[in-house]
Structure 1
Amino acid sequence: MRKLKLQMQITLDGFVCGPNGEQDWVWLSPPDEVGFQKIVELADTSDTLLMGRKMTRQFIDHWENVADNMPDHPTNLLAKMIVDMRKITFSHTETNMEGRNLEVENGDLATTVEALKKESGKDILVYGGADFVSSLIDQDLIDEYYMIVNPVAIGKGLPIFNGRTVLKLENSVAFKSGKVLNTYLPVREN
């Protein structure tokens, strides 16, 4: 059975973006080749990417632009992987969105994710947005958490955890940039 893996940038004080969706703090640390390689390796373990409707348009436009028009950009390899990957955006309002390998899903989140996990193939990756990820966490659908902790606190913003979530630390890697990639598994009570 495929696993659903969450990769998120997060602040020291537990926010994934500012109150209005700001993520400028992600770029405060200098680029880190080792950290970026970890992101590429994680993406390579997956063949499906899930996301919420609110982030889809900007996300698709950005990565397709990098893949198509910026061959020398440091993120071009990741961009090509993302563009080629099957992408599913979950929406209650949209039935169709433009983007390569992009599908829109209007069905029940838990039912759809559980069905995707039973399909053959590589694992499933989630990048965001905050509300969508919160829904996945609330329904205990995430199997592995890859949290990139940034050395910054922003005071207020959007969290992804709405209540108590118990996780077990599996691995932690610190990068020269000051960011730390923590890998967690959920602690599920039987």
Structure 2
Amino acid sequence: MRKLKLQIQISVDGYVAGPNGEEDWVVRASDEKLWQLINELPDSSDTLLLGRKMAEAFIPHFEEFESDSPKITFAQKMVNIPKVIFTRTLDKPFGKNTSLAKGNLAKEIAKLKNQDGKDILVYGGAGFVSSLIAGGHIDEFFLFVNPVMINKGMRIFDLLDKRQKLSLISATPYECGVTVIRYKLNNE
């Protein structure tokens, strides 16, 4: 069975975006080792999940990259990887290599996990990720903890109605101040 992995930027005080989706607090330093991890994570996956709101910004962002950009290789990965947009409102997909999931979240995730292939990666958005976490669907968490407290905004753990135990896989600090904490869901 494929694993569902979450990669997300988060503040020390637990926010993943400002009140209006702002990400101006995210460390954008050119830390080569951190960038290597960001670039390698999609290589272990062959499917990317996005909520509709995030997809509306994410997909055009990477499809519009200029070929002379230093991050064009990563952008091409994001364009070429099959993406599933979870939505209740869209009738047809947009962008390259996209499809829609409109059914029951648990059933859609189970169907994807039971398909052959590499793991599945999810980037967001906040509401979609909150639902995945609350449902116990995330198998591994890659929390990119930024050295900032933003005091208000969007959170992803507020829908939990029961405890979910995690096991630490690794915690790696980077020169730019970000620490990547990797957990796996403890299903015992």
TM-score, length-scaled by structure 2: 0.94
State how far apart, in whole Å, the 2-side matches of 1:155 and 1:165 are: 24
Which residue of 125, 134, 152 maps to 1:138?
134
* Residue identity matched to 1:96: K
Kindly tell me the number of residue pairs found equivalent between the two proteins: 185
TM-score, length-scaled by structure 1: 0.93
Which residue of 94, 100, 103 maps to 1:104?
100
Q: Does the 8 A contact of 1:12 with 1:150 survive in 2?
A: yes
* Residue identity matched to 1:95: D
- 1:52: how far off? 0.4
Q: Which runs of 5+ in 1 are unaligned?
A: none
Per-residue CA shift, 1:7-66, capped at 9, x if unaligned?
Answer: 000001000001111111114x52211101101111110010001011111100001112
The answer to whether 1:55 aligns with 2:51 is no
The answer to whether 1:127 aligns with 2:126 is no
The answer to whether 1:31 aligns with 2:24 is no
Q: Does the 8 A contact of 1:168 with 1:184 survive in 2?
A: yes
Which residue of 132, 148, 152 maps to 2:148?
152
* Residue identity matched to 1:36: W
Q: Which runs of 5+ in 2 are unaligned?
A: none
- 1:126: how far off? 0.1
State how far apart, in whole Å, the 2-side matches of 1:75 and 1:25 are: 21
State how far apart, in whole Å, the 2-side matches of 1:74 and 1:156 are: 33
Q: Which has the higher helix share?
A: 1
- 1:72: how far off? 3.0
The answer to whether 1:9 aligns with 2:9 is yes
* Residue identity matched to 1:184: Y
State how far apart, in whole Å, the 1-side matches of 2:138 and 2:50 are: 13
* Residue identity matched to 1:126: V
Secondary structure of the corresponding residue to residue 183 of structure 2: strand
- 1:74: how far off? 2.9
Give the structure 2 partner of residue 181 of structure 1: 180
- 1:71: how far off? 2.4
- 1:98: how far off? 1.5
* Residue identity matched to 1:75: K
Secondary structure of the corresponding residue to residue 127 of structure 1: strand
State how far apart, in whole Å, the 2-side matches of 1:73 and 1:149 are: 26
